[in-house]
Chain A
């Protein structure tokens, strides 16, 4: 028994030592424990807003940026990785990746801590979950963080001061529009009208909708309202009015699980589903299972690969609209992080971090699909990207002294189907 007690004592001692070391360490960490490139505010002694405006371009530092995705796989994730890797040499950035959970704050914090442990200088994060504790962690480790494909709505509405006002948060590029800036309903409506113009013999006159819960994606609910309003306006003058089934709380709000087959019992007469939720993953498979994919059209967000076989006039022609946010929108947080890491800032940089709507690639015809199939999103080939590594380097304040924040914002607005090379 003595032996065991000794073992315990040893373990406890190790624990105490660990803490004492930690105690010494944290005070040091403020002096800049970051990797090679984290010489930022603390070492220069100036805050971001005070950072000197540079007049000539300087060489960027070697640095590491961690990217925390919302899922392991998928077209968007793979294309983003391919795009980032293509820029690695030019920007002198090593990228590290991790995957967050969509429901567990503590697990996400651990993932971010592991990224920091592995020596990243900045983090691009695609989830708004446990963000206040993540920001605290970044502050403690002197690591900057930005958002991608996420509107950070929870933080924006309930923890603005802790997150958006933190000098370690650089801002986020949303997945499409912010909840207060919605256009998706109008986009869906336009695609529907365009379809009807192409198909005058058999226009769609009865549609139903699908959304994710409002607490997770408020912009989808707003989009649905916008769509209904647009149809009502259209019906005032239209020869063949369009009926929209009102959103059924029970079947039309998808709780991040595939649509239920009872949807088609509840919407027996629908000719098209307008899915603000990810239709390729959550709606279309159910349509196939129920055998309605030949009869009902689908206008949706998301493109996961494989849709092209039944898009427009191809195959069953189920898909009539898909919509994605270009992977190039990651340049927004990336450039802001690089500026921070290199201790520079734009002359017109706002005081408080922002969330910016991103334009979307809307695919609603065969021609659009052909164009989309040449984008980096689809091909995963970095040469197809709208912005080359050099373009992105030129967006940074250290490589291009005349670069501005306004330009960076404009970049997010120029990521549409027409911008694809």
Chain B
């Protein structure tokens, strides 16, 4: 009896989790199928192997960045500097990768540098006792300015356009850093005391500190894990994109472009785990993006507007989460 109810719960969780990408797929299929632009020689380009390839490749990038954002956010901190440390890491790792012609060396450098930069951010935050947004804006400006000072301010371009170095930007190589990022996130969240204490601190910071949690240590550890994930995100990013030096908080724009799956993921994750939610949300969003690409709305004004409406609608919906949860609880209680 218990087993069957367990099984049902799991099934329900799975269904609730995958419903978003499935819904997205269906919607995009209908839209693309009814639009002439999506047909080439009578063939619907939405339904090609490209779909799976592109959705997975892009989802991996999204998942890595989203994990990094969420790890800090779930601890109650919005880290503005994630994008800047990712770009700086990507430039350094990419250049060293080109010099050594080894994507593996680049990967290691990326993770190490990601950890160093993020720990430095955490250090400044702890020592400076600055409000997190102001502190991370300052760090963003600093890391961005360093992109002009490393490797002659050249950024890195040829890393991603060389087949030998860009293995982590394509299938199946891209799965490796992504899996590591997910693993780092899971280890932090569920298998370290820092992760659990972080939860207490995010719920009630003062009470957490008062019961003896060392908040500074907690922050520092969270930044080590964020650093690992940022480093992994950087290696995927530099394997897929030209990375130019950035200024004027432009990197926050790069960060923002991956933020939607974070919020959606945490909501979808209510049905299971946040990490699952983020992965599912990323896949769903990338299905949407691919569909928009097939309609040639992939770049430009309409994509932005659709994205905006999406953000608002999703937020409006998730803001009512409490009510939904209460409703679900009542529903279950009745049964």
Contacts and interface: CB of A to CB of B under 8 A. Distances in A.
Given A255-B300, A289-B240, A306 B154 contact: no
A23 interface: no
A262 B293 contact: yes
A180 B154 CA distance: 34
Contacts of A268: 40-41
B108 interface: no
Contacts of B166: 288-289
A307 to B, nearest CB: 9
B37 A265 contact: no
Interface string A281-292: 100110011010
A173 to B, nearest CB: 25
B244 A288 contact: no
A140 B300 CA distance: 38
A281 B152 CA distance: 19
A72 B246 CA distance: 10
Interface in A278-335: 280-281, 284-285, 288-289, 291, 293, 304-306, 309, 316
B294 A262 contact: yes
A346 B148 CA distance: 41
Contact of A293 (B40, B157, B163, B293): B163
Contacts of B158: 304-306
A86 interface: no
A255 B299 contact: yes
A155 interface: no
A305 B162 CA distance: 12
A211 B54 CA distance: 24
A174 B150 CA distance: 32
A266 to B, nearest CB: 5
Given A260-B293, A262-B294, A288-B161, A73 B154 contact: yes
A261 interface: yes
Interface string B136-168: 000000000000100011110110111100100
B298 interface: yes
Nearest to A249: B296
A72 B153 contact: yes
A123 B237 CA distance: 37
Contact of B37 (A250, A280, A288, A289): A250
A251 interface: yes
A288 B50 contact: no
Contacts of A240: none
Interface string A255-270: 1010011100110100
A150 B273 CA distance: 54
B4 interface: no
Contacts of B48: 265
Contacts of A304: 157-158
B242 interface: yes
Nearest to B160: A285
Contact of A281 (B157, B240, B296): B157
Interface residues of B, number: 32
A257 to B, nearest CB: 5
Nearest to A305: B158
A265 B245 contact: no
Contacts of B242: 281, 285
Interface in B234-273: 240, 242, 244-245
Contact of B162 (A71, A261, A262, A306): A306
Contacts of A289: 57, 160, 166, 169-170, 240
A288 B153 CA distance: 25
A233 B200 CA distance: 76
Interface in B16-71: 37, 40-41, 45, 48, 50, 54, 57
Given A250-B37, A262-B50, A288 B160 contact: yes
Contacts of B299: 255, 257, 260
B244 A72 contact: yes
Interface string B161-200: 1110010011000000000000000000000000000000
Between A257, A261, A289, the greatest number of chain B beta carbons within 10 A of the residue's beta carbon is seen for: A289
A304 B166 CA distance: 18
A353 B41 CA distance: 50
Contact of A288 (B162, B294, B296): B162
Contacts of A251: 296
Given A266-B40, A289-B240, A309 B162 contact: yes
Contacts of A260: 293, 298-299
A285 B245 contact: no
B53 to A, nearest CB: 8
Contacts of B240: 289
A169 B157 CA distance: 35
Interface in A144-187: none
Contacts of B153: 72-73
A128 B40 CA distance: 38
A288 B169 CA distance: 10
A72 B144 CA distance: 13
B161 A285 contact: yes
B245 A73 contact: yes
Contacts of A305: 157-158
A265 B50 contact: yes
A413 to B, nearest CB: 31
Nearest to A316: B163
12 contacts: A72-B155, A72-B244, A73-B154, A73-B245, A250-B37, A260-B299, A265-B40, A265-B45, A285-B161, A288-B162, A289-B160, A306-B157
Interface of A: 71-73, 78, 250-251, 255, 257, 260-262, 265-266, 268, 280-281, 284-285, 288-289, 291, 293, 304-306, 309, 316
Interface of B: 37, 40-41, 45, 48, 50, 54, 57, 148, 152-155, 157-158, 160-163, 166, 169-170, 240, 242, 244-245, 293-294, 296, 298-300
Q: Which 5 A-B pairs have the closest CB atoms?
A: A306-B158, A250-B296, A285-B161, A265-B45, A73-B154
Given A73-B152, A305-B157, 9 more contacts: A72-B244, A250-B37, A255-B299, A260-B299, A266-B45, A268-B40, A268-B41, A289-B169, A304-B157
